[in-house]
Structure 1
Amino acid sequence: MNLKQELQQLNNRLDATRRKLDAAHERGDMAMIDKFSEESQALKKRIESVKKTQARQVGKQGNKVSSLAFKRPLTKEEQADMGKLKKSVRGLVVVHPLTALGREMGIKEVTGFAPKKF
């Protein structure tokens, strides 16, 4: 399972645990309150761990992409026919500013990274 799916599942479990905890508070059931409080804390720790792992992976990928020798913003025509561009430029990596990698790298427009000039 990838990190994105795991994070989603953990958030769903945390939401369910919070609802059960609220119901236990309404009933005044101390045993269940303790159980769901502990489970909630464990899930929060795991979510934090997964987020840190995700950030570390994006950082590694950003370093790898930014170490490529050549970069330049892509024109609208190139963006429109991305398949043709990727076939003509060996090793091209396209980074969009709204993706996690683009935000991490501080990209302001769609940029292509490649080992050689294109």
Structure 2
Amino acid sequence: MNLKQELQTLNGKLDTFRRKLAAAEQRGDAAIILQFKKEITAMTKRIANVKGQQTRQLNKEGSEVKGLTFKRELTKAEQADMGQLKKSVKGLVVVHPMTALGREMGIKTVTGFAPSEF
């Protein structure tokens, strides 16, 4: 299971625990309330751990992409014919500003990174 899917399932479980906690508080069941509070704290710790893993993974990927020797913004024509561009340039990595990697790197336009000039 990748980190994104795991984070979604953990958030789903956390939401379920919170709803069950609210129902138990409404009933006044002290033992169940205590149990769900423990579950919620454990789940929030696990979610924080997974988010930290995601951040580390993005940082690693961003540093690998920044390590490529050449970068430049892609023109609209190049963006329109991305398949041909990727075939002609070996090792091209295209980063869009709206992806997680693009936001992490602080990119404002679609940028191509490659080991050699293109």
Same-fold status (TM-score > 0.5): yes
Aligned identity (percent) is 67
Q: Which amino acid aligns with 2:72?
A: R
Q: Which amino acid aligns with 1:46?
A: R
Q: TM-score, normalising length from structure 1? A: 0.99
Q: TM-score, normalising length from structure 2? A: 0.99
Rounded to whole Å, the distance in 1 between the matches of 2:100 and 2:55 is 9
Q: Output aligned runs, 1:82-101, within 5 Å.
A: 82-101=82-101
1:79 offset after TM fit, Å?
A: 0.5
The answer to whether the aligner puts 1:27 opposite 2:17 as a matched pair is no
Rounded to whole Å, the distance in 2 between the matches of 1:16 and 1:62 is 35
Aligned to 1:67: 67
The answer to whether the aligner puts 1:8 opposite 2:8 as a matched pair is yes
Rounded to whole Å, the distance in 1 between the matches of 2:71 and 2:38 is 49
Rounded to whole Å, the distance in 1 between the matches of 2:26 and 2:103 is 43
Consecutive unaligned residues of structure 2, counting only runs of 5 or more, are: none
Aligned to 1:41: 41
Q: Secondary structure at the match of 1:116?
A: coil
Aligned to 1:106: 106
Pairwise CA RMSD: 0.3
Counting matched residue pairs gives: 118
Aligned to 1:17: 17
